[in-house]
């Protein structure tokens, strides 16, 4: 009799212990793990709170552009307007560094400028790369004429080979100003401290801003290709006809 009462009291204490355990919010996860499976009970997995990363991830292209802008705003890199470029190159001894890809430079370039492309054509023909090229062609290539490219891993090396003196004055240019901004960031990190950046790139250049131009196109139109190139030619033609009629 005593044994039966003791066992009942033990069961009662055990039930109360489970009751106290269930009242403790910190023990809910432990209860979920200890309780046997119940058909009518929905077991929810414990929530994992979001933890902020100590160092936020940054995309290489974006971080390069931001770094270039941060160099220009305080004056560590000189921003040169297209109207000033001719005098900067002729009088102040700046070397013109063209970082556009080969197919843009072949259309038009400044005579005597140094050419080291920041981007080169991606020649990989693997299945994943071919899929990327196909998507690029549909969304960008047909309209702009731009090819599927990749970063030139030898960019810094080629610049150092061509301009070993890192005290040299280098004016970095591209078609629209973004790629040259990335190049400025890379060269500044390489140790070049007398850098210039052509604001807006060759797209803002007008006739006479540079002394001698080589190629079949106007310097400001060399970046444009694909269907947009023919649309541009049509607009230029309509504009010229409108000026003649007026």
**Structure-token match 């005579």, residue found:** 111
Buried b (16+ CB within 10 A) or exposed e, 5-43: eeeeeeeeeeeeeeeeeeeeeeeeeeeeeeeeeeeeeee
109 counts as catalytic? no
- Helix, coil or strand: residue 44: coil
Annotate 128-181 with DSSP letters as a single string: HHHHHHHHHIIIIIHHH-PPPEEE-TTHHHHHHHH---TTS-EEEE-SSSHHHH
- Please identify which of the residues 64, 116, 174, 183 carries the catalytic annotation: 174
Upper half-sphere CA count for residue 148 (Cβ side, 13 Å): 16
Residues known to be catalytic: 174
């Amino acid at each position: 009799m005593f044994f039966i009462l003791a066992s009942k009291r033990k069961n009662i204490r055990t039930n109360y212990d489970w009751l106290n355990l269930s009242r403790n919010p910190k023990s809910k996860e432990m209860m979920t793990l200890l309780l046997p499976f119940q058909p009518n009970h929905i077991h929810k997995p414990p929530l994992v709170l979001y933890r902020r990363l100590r160092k936020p991830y940054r995309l290489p292209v974006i971080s390069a552009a931001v770094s270039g802008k941060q160099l220009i705003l305080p004056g560590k890199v000189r921003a040169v307007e297209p109207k000033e470029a001719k005098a900067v190159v002729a009088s102040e001894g700046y070397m013109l560094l063209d970082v556009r890809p080969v197919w843009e430079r072949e259309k038009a370039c400044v005579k005597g400028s140094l050419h080291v492309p920041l981007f080169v054509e991606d020649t990989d023909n693997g299945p994943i790369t071919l899929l990327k090229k196909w998507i690029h062609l549909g969304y960008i290539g047909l309209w702009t004429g731009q090819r599927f490219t990749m970063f030139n891993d030898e960019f810094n090396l080629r610049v150092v080979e061509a301009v070993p003196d890192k005290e040299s004055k280098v004016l970095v240019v591209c078609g629209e100003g973004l790629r040259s901004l990335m190049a400025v960031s890379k060269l500044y990190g390489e140790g070049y401290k007398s850098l210039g950046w052509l604001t807006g790139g060759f797209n803002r250049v007008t006739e006479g801003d540079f002394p001698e131009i080589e190629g079949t196109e106007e310097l400001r139109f060399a970046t444009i290709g694909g269907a947009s190139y023919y649309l541009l030619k049509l607009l230029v033609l309509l504009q010229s006809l409108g000026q003649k009629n007026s």
